[in-house]
Structure 1
Amino acid sequence: MTTSLGHWRDHPERWPELADAEARQAVLRLLLRERRNSDAVFLRYLLDQEIRYHEDGWGYDESLGLAALLLHECGEAGDVWQLSEAKYTSFDTASGLSAFLLFPAGVAATLEHVERSDHPDRDEVAADLREHLVHDPGLDRERAARLAGLREHYSA
């Protein structure tokens, strides 16, 4: 497997090679150092692969958290749906994935996006987001520090 992001970026025909968890994790580590906002489509693909991987087994692999973090950092409110799917793939992913990652555009913008959406999961996701805010009212204020902490964790 090549370790060059240039090999993967803008080459979706190669992405199926990343069905292998080890290869995917290596690419996610590269993206941790060199993520661009233009990588959002690629990151959605990688997170989808992580979701599929976690559907088929027990436990929580940190590659799911890394993929979610990287997609979250792109800051697009519409990614809330996939991030929510990732969090609730299993009991283990629900416990392992940080809830603040469900707010990729910040609290207000993400909630507004969800509430104005006609997505079939709108009501469930909106209720879930509001529940997280009840239990974690400092979530938006502490967002930057939490992101920095997760980046540090995955960089170690």
Structure 2
Amino acid sequence: MGVARPGEGFPGVGWWLEDPERWETLRFEAAHDEEDVPFDRRWRDRGEVLDALVAVPGPVDHAFARFLLEQEILFHDHAWGFNYGAEIAALLVAEHQRPEDVWILWEAIGTSFDTWCGLPHDLLLAGGGKASAIAYVAASDHDARDGLLEHLRESEEMTGEEAAAFVAARREYYAKVYLGGQ
């Protein structure tokens, strides 16, 4: 599996992180082709940024990672299929190990049948492992609380350290793919 590397003239990672107003050029833009197939006008540019971000040591800026995942959620809600960019964006969020990110990760996983099958559900445990995730969600009044709690209780046991190692291994995999090592 190979991925397209950013072309000449593609701004480096630092350029994107300097000014959040630049992120707007990566915002999801719904469209349909001549055969009425849905797509995102910005998926290619966002994919280049995600490829570049996964290749640099992390974690990357949390707000930027969340923005990118939000755009991937919108993209996958609009179109069918699964693009690896959704997993990279989810990994960039998950590597921060923040319990509150369980909600956006749950939204990403549940966006469509394809994201349900394509995104690793262990990402939900990135904020400290299974017990920690269950405790955090149980204490919440979030609308998705009950469904997420049921799902978490059915998940395999995983400590915070194991969850962090899982996220790091998936990130390393994509970095190697991007750099042409696999």
Question: What TM-score do the two structures reach when normalised by structure 2?
Answer: 0.76
Distance 2:164 2:20 in 1: 31
**2:97·2:164 contact (CA, 8 Å) conserved in 1?**
no
Of 44, 53, 78 in structure 2, the residue corresponding to residue 22 of structure 1 is 44
Helix, strand or coil at the partner of 2:149:
helix
Distance 1:145 1:41 in 2: 22
Of 69, 80, 85 in structure 2, the residue corresponding to residue 58 of structure 1 is 80
Residue 144 of structure 1, CA deviation? 4.3
Assess, with a 3 A threshold, how the Cα gap between structure 1 residues 43 and 63 changes in structure 2: closer, same or farther. Answer: same
2:173 alignment counterpart: 153
**1:114·1:122 contact (CA, 8 Å) conserved in 2?**
yes
Q: Gapped runs of 5+ residues in structure 1?
A: none
Distance 1:144 1:76 in 2: 11
After the TM superposition, which of the residue ranges 117-126 and 63-72 deviates more from structure 2? 117-126
CA RMSD of aligned residues (A): 1.8
Residue 28 of structure 1, CA deviation? 1.4
Residue 13 of structure 1, CA deviation? 1.4
Identify which of structures 1 and 2 has the higher relative contact order when contacts are C-alpha pairs closer than 8 Å and 6+ apart: 2
After the TM superposition, which of the residue ranges 25-34 and 86-95 deviates more from structure 2? 25-34
1:131 alignment counterpart: 154
**1:3·1:26 contact (CA, 8 Å) conserved in 2?**
no
Does 2:15 match 1:7?
yes
Q: Gapped runs of 5+ residues in structure 2?
A: 1-8, 28-41, 178-182
Deviation per residue, 1:95-139 (Å, 9 max, x gap): 01001001121222222211111111111111111112xxx23x3
Question: What TM-score do the two structures reach when normalised by structure 1?
Answer: 0.87
Residue 146 of structure 1, CA deviation? 2.5
Residue 12 of structure 1, CA deviation? 1.9
2:143 alignment counterpart: 120
Runs of 4 or more, structure 1, over 4 Å off, are: none
Does 2:106 match 1:92?
no
Aligned length: 151
Distance 1:29 1:109 in 2: 30
Name the % identity.
Answer: 40
